[in-house]
């Protein structure tokens, strides 16, 4: 029954949901909302500084020898996912409200996770080294690629997205990330040694962003813009999207001749979408646009991917144990 225990929502997601519920009933207003926006901007700057300080470009480049693996994963993350998101556009204004569809499209543009992609690849006895490089590269590139995709792809889905937000993107996302990279000579040892407490900082920033987004959404009466059937459709679409990507990321690499270990890494890295990166990015990219409902698809998809991949990873591990396969080298 260990797989059943893994289906429970993790503490991080529970904190996020609690923050959203609190904001729905006790939103910040007036001067409190102004202070909250300022605190969120500072927190997002700090978050992306820490992202830059953590990622070592030299280590990632050293692992790029397996370029077919990494290009395949990046193609799933930043090409196939966005194309599927665009193909779902007929849902906008029919089964889903335009804002929920915009959130679904945004979900398709964010980078992969790092920690869970690597963890599931390890549990499943896949190519852990490849997963580390690909997941890190996805987040490294995502700081630049996701905002660019939002500007290019979402202009048609949400009229509030345009080139005028480039300044906010540069100041709140790119500059702190670059400063973090430049600071690695002095900060790399510290962030490595204090990885656990700094993860709490990461999660605290995301929870703060969620509370800010839903507080703002309450002032815009966001829950009056969605109904139960639309939420049911959204959950169904997120589950279908995840199921489709799990199938595609397994059979396409199989046809391409990748080894079992590589296919495992591709599946777990190529199907993930990062809540920790996507939520703060949304606060910057969609400033003033009411991001509460817009980030809802990402929150649903995040929990679904954790539940599904927990079960799949353990099945792979058991299958390899029965076959007498040794654990993959990490």
Question: Is 123:317 a contact under the CB 8 Å cutoff?
Answer: yes
User: What whole-number percentage of the chain has pLDDT above 70?
Assistant: 84
Question: Is 283:209 a contact under the CB 8 Å cutoff?
Answer: yes
Q: Which of 109, 170, 134 lies closest to 263, judged by CA?
A: 134
Q: Which helix (H) or strand (E) holds 78?
A: none
CATH for 10-320 is 1.20.1530.20
Interatomic CA distance for residues 252 and 55, integer angstroms: 29
Any alpha helices (H) in 26-127, and if so which ranges? Answer: 31-54, 57-62, 67-75, 81-87, 98-107, 115-123
What is the CA 198 to chain-centroid distance, rounded? 18
Question: Which of 243-247, 252-256, 289-293 bottoms out in mean pLDDT, i.e. has the lowest?
Answer: 289-293
Residue 89: DSSP 8-state: G
Interatomic CA distance for residues 270 and 256, integer angstroms: 15
**Per-residue pLDDT reduced to its tens digit, 311-321:** 898 888 888 77
User: How many Cα atoms sit within 13 Å of 11 on the Cβ side?
Assistant: 4
pLDDT of residue 159: 44
92 backbone dihedrals φ, ψ, rounded to 5°: -70, 125
Secondary structure class of 110 (helix, strand, coil): coil
Radius of gyration (C-alpha) of the chain in whole angstroms:
19
Structure-model confidence comparison of residues 56 and 82, the more confident one: 82
**Per-residue pLDDT reduced to its tens digit, 97-152:** 888 999 999 999 999 987 788 888 888 888 887 888 888 788 878 888 998 898 88
- Per domain, the residue ranges of the chain are 10-320
Residues 6+ apart with CB under 8 A from 125: 261, 264, 316, 317, 320, 325, 327, 328
């Amino acid at each position: 029954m260990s797989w059943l225990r893994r289906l429970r929502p993790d503490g991080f997601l529970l904190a996020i949901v609690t923050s959203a519920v609190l904001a729905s009933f006790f939103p910040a207003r007036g001067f409190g909302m102004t202070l909250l926006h300022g605190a969120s901007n500072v927190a997002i700057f700090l978050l992306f500084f820490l992202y830059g300080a953590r990622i070592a470009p030299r280590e990632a480049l050293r692992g790029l020898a397996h370029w077919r693996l990494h290009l395949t994963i990046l193609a799933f993350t930043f090409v196939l996912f966005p194309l599927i998101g665009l193909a779902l556009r007929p849902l906008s204004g029919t089964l889903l409200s335009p804002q929920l569809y915009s959130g679904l499209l945004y979900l398709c543009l964010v980078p992969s996770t790092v920690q869970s992609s690597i963890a599931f690849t390890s549990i499943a006895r896949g190519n852990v080294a490849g997963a580390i490089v690909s997941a890190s590269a996805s987040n490294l590139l995502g700081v630049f690629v996701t905002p660019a995709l939002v500007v290019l792809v979402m202009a048609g889905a949400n009229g509030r997205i345009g080139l005028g937000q480039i300044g906010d993107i540069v100041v709140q996302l790119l500059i702190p990330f670059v400063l973090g990279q430049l600071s690695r000579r002095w900060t790399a040892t510290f962030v490595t040694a204090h990885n656990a407490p700094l993860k709490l900082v990461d999660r605290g920033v995301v929870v703060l962003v969620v509370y800010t987004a839903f507080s703002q959404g309450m002032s815009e009466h966001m829950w009056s813009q969605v109904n139960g059937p639309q939420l049911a459709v959204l959950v169904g679409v997120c589950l279908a999207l995840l199921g489709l990507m799990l199938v595609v990321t397994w059979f396409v690499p199989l046809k391409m001749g990748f080894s079992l270990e590589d296919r495992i890494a591709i599946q777990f890295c190529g199907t993930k979408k990062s809540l920790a990166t996507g939520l703060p990015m949304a606060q910057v990219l969609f400033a003033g646009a009411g991001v509460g409902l817009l980030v809802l698809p990402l929150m649903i998809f995040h929990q679904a991917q954790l539940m599904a991949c927990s079960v799949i990873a353990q099945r792979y591990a058991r299958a390899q144990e029965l076959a007498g396969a040794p654990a993959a080298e990490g």
